[in-house]
Amino acid sequence: MSVSFHGRTVRGWVLGPAAERPARVLPIRRVLSRVPILDDHLLGLGRWMAERYVVPLSLAIGAMPPPRVASEETAPAGERSSRAIEPVVARKLERYRGGPELLRACAEGSGAFAVRPLPDDEADVCLEAVWACLRGRRRAVVVVPEAEPLPATARAVADAAGDAAMLYIGGEPRERYRAWLDMLAGRFDVVVGTRSAVFAPLENLGLIWVHRDAHPGHREERAPRHHVREVALARAGIQGAVCVVAGLSTSTETATLVERGSMAAVRPSRAEERAASPLVETTPPEREDRSPRLARLLRDADGAFLLVSRLGYGVARSCRRCSEPARCARCVGPVVLREGRASCAVCRAAAVCPTCGSERFAVERGGTERVEEWARHVTGLPVTRVESGGDALPPKPGRVIVGSAAAVKDFGSTQAVQLVAILDPDRARRREGLSAPDQALATWMEAARWAGPRGRGHRVLVQTRDSGDPAIQALIRWDPEVLHRAERARRRAAGFPPAHPVYRVVGTAASADALASLRPVHLLQSSVGGETVSLITIDPDAVRRFRERVVAWVGEGIVTRVEAEPQL
């Protein structure tokens, strides 16, 4: 509907009858749609999001359904499909520790579970949980971090459920709105999709499965900024369903919830995990992120995947004419050589020396393009470079792939290759952002599995100068706990303990004392251009009070802006 609000016409939703009638009430200007677009559970989830991410309720619930396409509301609804024939489901979870409890909960219970599957079990365990849920006459949602290419886990579930499944992964506004209306009408028992599938309007929800939760694709960067894992956990709580967070290496947040007892761990025995894990060895890198060991292994390999974190052919170090350090003349960013062209890594402008205007630079070689060029000289196999998800292809014998993290996808069970090499892990794990080590380890493990289980002469080569680093050790031992323990300590020391809400608050100088009065876990403040910017970490139980106070301070003009989870 549209209503008058402070002299402007704005859109709003009818949420339900008010408990009391305010003194002054204006009539609704126009009813735009009579379709109840959210059910009570989603409304509850919207209230939770408004509180947790400190946004207006309208913004929280506005983020759930796709934009309205009015004509679809009068179009005939699709037929409800008969449930697909039950496929043969591999029984793997039954043998995992905590697996039988998870399967029972999917059918008729609730709770939060962290599942760490064996590399070849990723899709099977998801399918098994979804089927347990359907057998209990409940519905299931599977959220994957990306659609291009569609993860094998998503494909397996969608194929098995046939007509009973909705693949909710983007598309035209009309299609998306149609899909939403059909989900509301109860046409589907299973919804498989990217981020917004976590809001899929399903009654009688039994399971929300979050696939590979350390993947950056699960973070929504637009307001209300949120993480799918957190929203899924909250929704399962509201709707009495099961939430599963799964991955070869989950995030430190998930591991922390397990440690606290808020989530139950589900995984095979250590012996099974070790037997299924690849052999990992380390060697120090030499020039251009390579080593003699890498050259030898690549020459003899029947197939390989080489993971490189830096794109392009190299980094410009200095101007060839005036010898000044190379930097972007426009934004002072670093200059990189990509596709034969020197440009700014930040603003992408063509690079010219800010001192003398020359376009020629002395380049330190290294990056996906340079590694591709080198690999062609070493191996007799065809070499393919992959820098975007759309180009990603599964590794297999007879092929060498040089790729960035964008090439590491869920391809399901693949034929093992003799060599997986991680060329510059020290650069990847030191990237900006508190979750960089989590993301790095998850990517390494997802790529490392392509070498197959140990004991067949296949191996993972890690070129590092710091083999004692927790992320590297976690990979070698095939035990993400090694990293998660270190990360908990590191983040606590930095003032951002995992699973504690963090906010960035902008306001006047008075906001500093106001925030300090809340006795936060951690408070970091600085003055930027006359404004006070605070990073505040609070106790998970203090979210409601924090929001109440901040909203009051916004009213008083002390606080001007709040942003949730800026540190990740």
Contact positions toward Zn ion, by CB under 5 A? 319, 321-322, 328, 330-331, 333, 344, 346-347, 349, 353, 355-356, 358
Q: How far apart are CA 546 and CA 520, in angstroms?
A: 9
Q: Whole-number minimum distance, CB 353 to Zn ion, in Å?
A: 3
Q: Whole-number minimum distance, CB 324 to Zn ion, in Å?
A: 5
DSSP 392: -
Q: Whole-number minimum distance, CB 388 to Zn ion, in Å?
A: 21
Q: Whole-number minimum distance, CB 528 to Zn ion, in Å?
A: 22
C-alpha distances out from residue 155 to 124, 128, 379, 452, Å: 11, 14, 33, 22
Q: Which residues neighbour 296 within 8 Å (Cβ) at sequence distance 6 or greater? A: none
Give CA 408 to chain center in angstroms: 13
Residue listed under structure tokens 């792939």: 401
Closer residue to Zn ion (CB): 356 or 516: 356
| Sign of the CA dihedral with 207 first, then 208, 214, and 215 last | positive
* 50-53 contacts, C-beta under 8 A, 24 or more apart: 50/224, 51/543, 51/544, 51/547, 52/226, 52/230, 52/234, 52/501, 52/543, 52/564, 53/223, 53/224, 53/225, 53/226, 53/564, 53/565
Phi, psi at 142, each rounded to 5°: -120, 120
Closer residue to Zn ion (CB): 198 or 351: 351
HSE at residue 487, side-chain half, CA atoms within 13 A, is 29
Closer residue to Zn ion (CB): 330 or 454: 330
Task: Report yes or no: 384 and 400 within 8 Å, Cβ to Cβ.
Answer: yes
Q: How far apart are CA 564 and CA 226, in angstroms?
A: 8
Q: Whole-number minimum distance, CB 358 to Zn ion, in Å?
A: 4
Q: Whole-number minimum distance, CB 64 to Zn ion, in Å?
A: 38
Closer residue to Zn ion (CB): 328 or 416: 328
Task: Report yes or no: 315 and 335 within 8 Å, Cβ to Cβ.
Answer: yes
Label residue 327 exposed, middle or buried (CB < 10 Å: 0-12, 13-18, 19+).
buried
Closer residue to Zn ion (CB): 167 or 345: 345
Closer residue to Zn ion (CB): 185 or 347: 347
Instruction: Kindly report whether the peptide bond that precedes residue 149 is cis, defined as omega within 30 degrees of 0.
Output: yes
Q: Whole-number minimum distance, CB 325 to Zn ion, in Å?
A: 9
Q: Whole-number minimum distance, CB 502 to Zn ion, in Å?
A: 30
Q: Whole-number minimum distance, CB 329 to Zn ion, in Å?
A: 8
C-alpha distances out from residue 513 to 518, 522, 535, Å: 9, 13, 13
